[in-house]
Amino acid sequence: MKKILSVAALGLSLTACSTNFAPMNYTLTVNVSGVPTATVTVTDTTTKQTVFQQAVTGTATIPNLVEDHVYTVSGLDVSGFKTPAAQTITLKKNDSVSLAYTAQ
């Protein structure tokens, strides 16, 4: 009987220790330079969803992005300026990306 109770207690303690941890949420700061304002799109390539698409003047911070998801940050064309290359980032902490526009 003692052995059965010990095995049951071990099972309960293992169950109590096995917890599923939800991924952390982080922020991504997008810095836009070289133009007064540019529309920026951020796509979660893991879920294939656009999580942000707005005009950015200087800096925008996007909250509640999921840890270990891959995000693509791209700026839309601005007349008279060379559009910076899209950037891809795997979010593992609060992070930032810079999009630098240059005059053509």
Q: Is 44 exposed, middle or buried (0-12, 13-18, 19+ CB in 10 A)?
A: middle
Q: Is 97 exposed, middle or buried (0-12, 13-18, 19+ CB in 10 A)?
A: buried
Closest residue by Cα to residue 72 from 94, 91, 93: 91
Confidence (pTM): 0.78
Which pLDDT score is estimated for 23?
76
Which pLDDT score is estimated for 66?
95
* 78-103 confidence digits (pLDDT tens): 999 999 999 999 999 999 999 999 99
* 49-87 confidence digits (pLDDT tens): 999 999 999 999 999 999 999 999 999 999 999 999 999
DSSP 91: -
Q: How far apart are CA 31 and CA 10, in angstroms?
A: 52
Q: How far apart are CA 85 and CA 58, in angstroms?
A: 17
Q: Could you tell me which residues come within 8 angstroms of residue 58 by beta carbon, excluding any fewer than 6 positions away? A: 31, 32
Helix (H) or strand (E) holding 3: helix 2-17
Which pLDDT score is estimated for 51?
97
